[in-house]
């Protein structure tokens, strides 16, 4: 449409077209521009709805997951299944976030202190889960650790329970777990 309009104006300028049907051409361009404008508005509206539907997981949901993790951990009988289920839920939520929003998700996970590192100022909660003898739990937890370690803030979160001292115990245990796995293991 724009090219046609420019060609028409150029022809008028060069004198190869007359202004005889100019009113009809202008009306045609107005109609085409109106249609194009409606398409752009529809796309903008659809894009905004799409972004709204892909909002990050709410802070309340993440806090609920953290509370459930802490409660499951304290259960006497077989906490592994409950912990695995909650960690899988977090993973599903992380995978539903558009790639351009994953950094924000990691920032939210750190903000709510999902692994109870900042509040406790130690790695006891994480390490106790890493020591449990349950493949599903280890797989789920390592997936979450991988998500957290995907940005510098997450690496800091996983290596600095004490703000002034680096601690690589989570990394050490993760490497030990990976060494224990068979070749080709998903974990």
Give me the residue spans of the domains in the chain: 2-53, 59-180
Residue 181 CB contacts under 8 Å (≥ 6 apart), including other chains: 187
Q: What's the pLDDT at 181?
A: 80
Q: Alpha-carbon distance 162 to 10, whole Å?
A: 71
CB 158 within 8 A of CB 167: no
- Residues of the chain short of pLDDT 70, as ranges, are 1, 47-56, 76, 184, 186-187
Which tokens is 65 given?
A: 């997951």
Helix (H, G, I), strand (E, B) or coil at 121: coil
User: What pLDDT score was predicted for residue 52?
Assistant: 47
pLDDT at 8: 78
CA distances from 179 to 60, 148, 155, 184 (A): 36, 21, 21, 12
pLDDT at 50 (0 to 100): 56
pLDDT of residue 119: 92
Q: What pTM value is reported for the model? A: 0.67
Task: Identify whether the C-beta of residue 105 lies closer than 8 Å to the C-beta of residue 56.
Answer: yes
Identify the DSSP state of 122.
S
How far apart are the C-alpha atoms of 80 and 105, rounded to whole Å? 25
Contact 162, 121 (CB under 8 A): yes
Rounded to whole angstroms, what are the CA distances from 176 to 47, 84, 179?
Answer: 45, 20, 5
How many of the other CB atoms lie within 10 Å of CB of 54?
Answer: 12
């Amino acid at each position: 449409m724009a090219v046609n309009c420019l060609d028409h104006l150029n022809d008028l300028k060069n004198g190869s077209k007359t202004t005889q049907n100019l009113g009809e051409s202008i009306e045609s361009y107005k109609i085409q521009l109106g249609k194009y404008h409606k398409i752009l508005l529809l796309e903008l509206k659809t894009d905004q709805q799409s972004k709204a539907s892909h909002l990050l997981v709410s802070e309340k949901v993440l806090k609920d997951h953290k509370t459930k993790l802490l409660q499951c951990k304290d259960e006497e009988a077989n906490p592994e299944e409950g912990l695995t289920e909650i960690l899988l839920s977090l993973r599903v939520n992380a995978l539903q976030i558009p790639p351009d929003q994953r950094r924000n998700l990691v920032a939210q996970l750190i903000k709510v202190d999902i692994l109870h590192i900042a509040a406790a100022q130690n790695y006891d909660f994480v390490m106790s889960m890493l020591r449990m003898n349950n493949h599903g739990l280890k797989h789920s937890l390592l997936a979450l650790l991988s998500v957290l370690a995907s940005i510098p803030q997450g690496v800091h979160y996983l290596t600095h329970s004490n703000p002034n001292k680096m601690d690589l115990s989570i990394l050490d245990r993760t490497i030990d777990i990976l060494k224990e796995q068979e070749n080709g293991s998903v974990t």
